[in-house]
Copies of this chain bind each other. A is one copy, B any other.
Amino acid sequence: MEKTTIKEVTRIELKNPVLVEGLPGLGMVGRIATRYLAKQLKAKKLANLYSPHFPYYVLVNKKGSVRLLRGEFYFWKNEAGENDLILFTGDSQAQTIEGQYDVASCILDFAERNNVKVVVTIGGYRKEVEETPKVVAASPSSELLNKALQAKAIASPVGNPIVGTAGLLLGMARFRKIDAVCLLGETRGYLPDPRAAKSVLEVLQRMLRVKVDLSGLDEEIEKSKGIVERMKEIEERREKYAQKMRRGEEERITYIS
């Protein structure tokens, strides 16, 4: 395999499809959100993406089976609404700089072939979140950005870098005349963060006018809370210790100079 390759599983005519992308990244927000969406909508497999830029191992599945790391395209026929959905998630981001651009490019090739006119990418936004995480939006299209803000996202601060596939799709979509918006759920980012994923899905639902039951995420949120609390304590303790050390060092430097 010399090149990133997309293998179609089925061919289907889709109605004004919107592509929603979420890969592993900060707080796993994109992946949790997109996978949950695919599961709830009972989306069906459309295609797999394989790439020599993914890590060079295979994973053992449930039944002792084995597969390459891959990206997965799912589709969902939206009988009631205007836009069918294509969902893209996967095991990993590309591992090299050039690989990142290549994989994003292949995803957009596939989007173009399927007449996608709008791409929504999902990721995490690092923040010490106390209450319900907010959703930060950015888009090269002011129209799409407004739609996100109306759906209760907040505008991204200037200079914020959006790293990886979620970012590159956003930047590269315009060369294909595809509109794109990024929704980033606020997250501490240490651990898989279903709470941030839920916030993103709430905004996404409003934007796409698709109704999905999000209560299934609440259980995962409960589970993760305990872990997060424990992590926070350890971190605070470390911070206090580090402060003490820094204070000591400053004194030493002051003394020397």
Q: In whole Å, how far is A45's beta carbon from the nearest beta carbon of chain B? A: 15
Contact-residue bracket for chain A: 35 or more
Chain B nearest CB, measured from A176 CB (Å)? 11
Contact call B105/A140, Cβ cutoff below 8 A? no
Chain A contact surface mostly: mixed
List residues 200-256 of chain A with CB under 8 A from any CB of chain B.
236-238, 240-241, 244, 253, 256
- Contact with A155, one of B52, B64, B168 (Cβ below 8 angstroms): B64
| Docked-complex contact A139 and B65, CB < 8 angstroms | yes
Q: Which residue of B lies closest to A169 (CB)?
A: B58
Question: Does chain B have a CB within 8 A of A37?
Answer: no
A2 CA to B53 CA in the complex, in Å? 13
- Using an 8 Å CB-CB cutoff, how does the interface string of A50-88 with B read, 1 for contact, 0 for none? 001111111111111111110000000000000000000
A143 to chain B, nearest CB (A): 11
Q: In the complex, what residues of B have CB within 8 A of residue A164's CB?
A: 56-57
Contact of A98 among B61, B66, B96, B160 (CB under 8 A): B96
Chain A interface (Cβ within 8 Å of chain B)? 1-2, 7, 52-69, 95-102, 104-105, 137-140, 142, 145, 155-164, 167-168, 170-172, 175, 182, 236-238, 240-241, 244, 253, 256-257
